Amino acid sequence: MDHTFTINLLIADKYYPLKIKRSEEELVRKAARLINDRIAQYRNRFNMETSGLETKDLLAMAACQIALMALKAEDVSDSSPYQECVERLDEELEAFLRR
């Protein structure tokens, strides 16, 4: 059985309590690390004092970048074009073998 428990995630210098399954802990912590890494990249790229950007802006940019990565990964893992090709080849092979 996969018990749930609460962890405290530090994201953008703020702690968030999150109830998760024990089996997902490593993945959740990696996700938080990814978010914090993206925020750090934006902090290094933009001068927070002169740019007028706030932490919420960095979070929004990080969310957009991570969502884009997820969508690209989704496209790559879409096997439907291959499935159609395999089905077509299977039909051709069956037709050939019936001769």
What is the structure's pLDDT at 1? 61
The domain ranges of the chain are: 4-98
Place of tokens 């802006």: 57
Cβ contact 36:23 at 8 Å: no
Model-level pTM?
A: 0.71
* pLDDT higher than 90, residue 32: yes
Compute the distance between CA of residue 92 and CA of residue 88 in angstroms, rounded to an integer: 6
* pLDDT higher than 90, residue 94: no
pLDDT average, residue stretch 16-37: 95
What is the structure's pLDDT at 77? 67
* pLDDT higher than 70, residue 78: no
3-state secondary structure of 39: helix
Q: What angle do CA 51, 55, 58 make, to 5 degrees?
A: 75
Closest CA to 28 of 13, 10, 12: 10
For the chain, give the mean pLDDT.
Answer: 88
